[in-house]
């Protein structure tokens, strides 16, 4: 029944295969020879199968767990260096016809005020985001064919790209909207989106159907096969994710990797990113009422095992996580984080007071409430380079072209210089004086780490031009 090349959800995410994988992992959780062999294979940097990765996640040998964490750190360093790409979510509308039990936007929630941004509202929100320094957005919207049809999403994307306030610009719009038909994905591709993001929430079909009791999202196959339709519609970069807390984390982890294997087997390229959110409190949603919540140690292990299993896939952590938790997992393989996020509709212009639930349109409460500048400054203190780079998609480096460069180790020659140039833009246009000072010091020391002399000279030249007012250089 299990067939990674099948186009049927229940065959490429075969429940029997997940259960057999979990049984195999349980049987081998103290098998030092097997685990050692898997770690050795992961060290070859070609990734792991879902079965192998599941054994690492289940491993109960402390010395081997330490090796997994060490390897995750090493791979993060080798593939992503000390750069962290920044983004922010932009909520367009919380009208939704679905009934996801973990989300306050579900149709039955009559308490929550329903809001949808007009194009003028979007222009104002985007201006506020540009004034913070953001260049990369993830657009979010509930599913509602009447209030939020695809035409509304397309028009909103156009508006977002059209706004140029002072030196600001949104250079990459990723889109996180409901599963759609191929022709709608084609329209999104033509609108110039970056990554199409869709969280599976849970891969466990029975739980999925219970957690999504009504609405189009109830259809497990339609939702699970969405990435195939997106790729058929010409979208090269897709972002997968699960919501930890809904089902057993082991199940989700194995199935998420099976999904990646399926995309690779069928389309020749796995997911561009994976998001690893944990369930959070929101209006009428108590995370304690979900029996499968995971603690910080397990969460860190999931991040480390994801990094060693899929070294070329970006890992995204949002402001659902606290500063302390984000700090812990950054070094284990996270490549993208959000900063200064608002998870309400229109929240950048009019932040909502959390103590006012009657008026709040937040999808979940944010655990890291710092401003973007505070996050940037914190990252630099920790030794990371905050990057506002959006170069790949704009240079046509998507899908398998991107993965080939990654696998050849070539992409790093672009990431590091681009990080320095986009950070420089941020420092000049948006940073607080102390952030600017430490950022300038960081750029001065990091420029020496560009290996090729020619590139180093080019970047130095571009930095100088950015200082004089030019913008948007990229490799």
Binding site for ligand SF4 (CB under 6 A): 85, 96, 98, 100, 103, 105-106, 142-143, 178, 217, 387, 389-392, 411, 414-415, 418
Q: At its nearest, how many Å lie between ligand SF4 and the CB of residue 199?
A: 8
Question: Which of 303/415 has CB closer to ligand SF4?
Answer: 415
Q: At its nearest, how many Å lie between ligand SF4 and the CB of residue 80?
A: 8
Q: At its nearest, how many Å lie between ligand SF4 and the CB of residue 377?
A: 20
Question: Which of 4/47 has CB closer to ligand SF4?
Answer: 47
Q: At its nearest, how many Å lie between ligand SF4 and the CB of residue 94?
A: 7
Question: Which of 69/312 has CB closer to ligand SF4?
Answer: 312
Q: At its nearest, how many Å lie between ligand SF4 and the CB of residue 16?
A: 28
Question: Which of 64/172 has CB closer to ligand SF4?
Answer: 172
Question: Which of 242/391 has CB closer to ligand SF4?
Answer: 391
Partners of 387 in the β-ladder: 85
Question: Which of 348/364 has CB closer to ligand SF4?
Answer: 364
The 3-state secondary structure of the chain, one letter per residue: CCCCCCCCHHHHCCHHHHHHHHHHHHHCCCCHHHHHHHHHHHCCCCCCCHHHHHHHHHCCCHHHHHHHHHHHHHHHHHHHCCEEEEEEEEEEECCCCCCCCCCCCCCCCCCCCCCECCHHHHHHHHHHHHHHCCCEEEEEECCCCCCCCHHHHHHHHHHHHHCCCCCCCCCEEEEECCCCCHHHHHHHHHCCCCCEECCCECCCHHHHHHHCCCCHHHCHHHHHCHHHHHHHCCCCCEEEEECECCCCHHHHHHHHHHHHHHHHHHHCCCCCEEECCECCCECCECHHHCCCCCCHHHHHHHHHHHHHHCCCCEEEECCCCCHHHHHHHHCCCCCEEECCCCCCCCCCCCCCCCCCCCCCCCCCCCCCCCCHHHHHHHHHHCCCEEECCCHHHHCCCCHHHHHHHHHCCCCHHHHHHHHHHHHHHHHHHCCCHHHHHHHHHHHHHHHHHCCCHHHHHHHHHHHHHHHCCCCCCCC
Q: At its nearest, how many Å lie between ligand SF4 and the CB of residue 410?
A: 10
Q: At its nearest, how many Å lie between ligand SF4 and the CB of residue 35?
A: 31
Question: Which of 51/106 has CB closer to ligand SF4?
Answer: 106
Question: Which of 22/403 has CB closer to ligand SF4?
Answer: 403
Q: At its nearest, how many Å lie between ligand SF4 and the CB of residue 391?
A: 4
Q: At its nearest, how many Å lie between ligand SF4 and the CB of residue 301?
A: 26
Question: Which of 100/315 has CB closer to ligand SF4?
Answer: 100
């Amino acid at each position: 029944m299990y067939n990674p090349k099948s186009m049927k959800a229940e065959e490429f995410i075969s429940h029997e295969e997940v259960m057999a994988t979990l049984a195999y992992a349980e049987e081998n959780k103290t098998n030092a020879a097997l685990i050692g062999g898997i770690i050795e294979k992961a060290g070859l940097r070609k990734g792991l199968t879902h079965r192998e990765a599941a054994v690492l996640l289940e491993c109960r040998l402390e010395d081997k767990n330490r090796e997994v964490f060490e390897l995750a750190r090493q791979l993060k360093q080798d593939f992503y260096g000390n750069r962290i790409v920044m983004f922010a979510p932009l909520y367009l509308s919380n009208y939704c016809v679905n009934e996801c039990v973990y989300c306050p936007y579900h149709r039955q929630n009559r308490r929550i005020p329903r809001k949808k941004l007009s194009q003028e509202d979007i222009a104002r929100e985007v201006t506020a985001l540009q004034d913070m320094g953001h260049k990369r957005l993830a657009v979010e919207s509930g599913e509602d064919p009447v209030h939020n049809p695809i035409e509304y999403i397309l028009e909103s994307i156009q508006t977002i790209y059209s706004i140029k306030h002072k030196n600001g610009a949104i250079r990459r719009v990723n889109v996180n909207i409901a599963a759609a038909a191929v022709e709608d994905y084609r329209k999104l591709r033509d609108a110039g989106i970056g990554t199409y993001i869709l969280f599976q929430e849970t891969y466990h079909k029975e739980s999925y159907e219970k957690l999504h009791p009504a609405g189009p999202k109830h259809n497990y196959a339609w939702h699970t096969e969405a990435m195939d339709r997106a790729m058929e519609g010409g979208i090269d970069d897709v972002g997968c994710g699960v919501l930890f807390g809904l089902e057993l984390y082991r199940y989700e982890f194995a199935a998420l990797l099976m999904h990646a294997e399926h995309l690779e087997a069928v389309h020749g390229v796995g997911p561009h990113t994976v998001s690893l959110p944990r369930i959070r409190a929101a209006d009428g949603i108590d995370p304690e009422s979900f029996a499968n919540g995971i603690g910080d140690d397990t969460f860190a292990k999931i991040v480390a095992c994801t990094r060693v299993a899929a070294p070329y896939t970006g890992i995204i952590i949002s402001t659902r996580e606290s500063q302390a938790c984000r700090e812990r997992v950054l070094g284990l393989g996270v490549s993208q984080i959000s900063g200064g996020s608002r998870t309400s509709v229109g929240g950048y212009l009019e932040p909502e007071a959390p103590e006012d639930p009657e008026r709040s349109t937040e999808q979940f409460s944010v655990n890291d409430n710092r401003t973007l500048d505070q996050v940037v400054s914190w990252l630099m203190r920790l030794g990371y380079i905050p990057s506002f780079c959006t170069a790949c998609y704009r240079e046509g480096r998507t899908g398998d072209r991107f993965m080939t460069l990654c696998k050849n180790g070539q992409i790093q020659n672009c990431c590091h210089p681009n990080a320095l140039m986009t950070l420089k833009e941020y420092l000049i246009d948006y940073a607080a004086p102390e952030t600017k000072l430490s950022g300038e010091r960081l750029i001065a020391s990091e420029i020496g780490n560009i290996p090729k002399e020619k590139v180093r000279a080019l970047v130095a030249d571009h930095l100088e031009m950015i200082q004089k007012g030019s913008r948007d250089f990229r490799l």
